Every structure is written in structure tokens, then in C-alpha cells.
Amino acid sequence: MGSGQADRPAGRKIPNTAILIVGISAVLLIVIVIALVATCQALSRNIGLNAVVTFKGKRL
């Protein structure tokens, strides 16, 4: 108990497939976040409006 080692038995390694799955998941998550941020910025752009209103009369 006092060896300072992790709870894993000595010699046990994380499988390469687990590392691969975590890596691919992280990359996909980053791509999704970047796509969402880009979409939100595209939707929130200001659109200029140039309008002229002409009124002839006494009341609106």
C-alpha cells in the first residue's frame, strides 16, 4: 500500500485502441465546436439597410 504506485497492477498498459478512440473523439469534438462557432458568427453579422420613407399628408 505504501509503494506510491497507481491502483493498476504492474505491467498493465492502456490498449492502443483506447488511446486511438479517445484521440479521434477529441478531434471530432474540436471540429464540431469550430463549426458551431463559425456558424454562429455567420448568423450574427449585421446587415446594412438603406431605406427612404416619403410621407405626404397630415397624419400617419
Residue 1 maps to a domain? no
For the chain, the domain total comes to: 1
- pTM, two decimals, is 0.49
Quick one: DSSP state of residue 9?
P
Q: Work out the average pLDDT over 3-21.
A: 74
Tens-digit pLDDT profile for residues 33-43: 998 888 776 66
Long-range contacts of 20-23 (CB under 8 A, 24+ apart): none
CA distance 24 to 16: 12
Residue 3 maps to a domain? no
20: containing domain: 14-60
Residue 6 maps to a domain? no
Residue 42 maps to a domain? yes
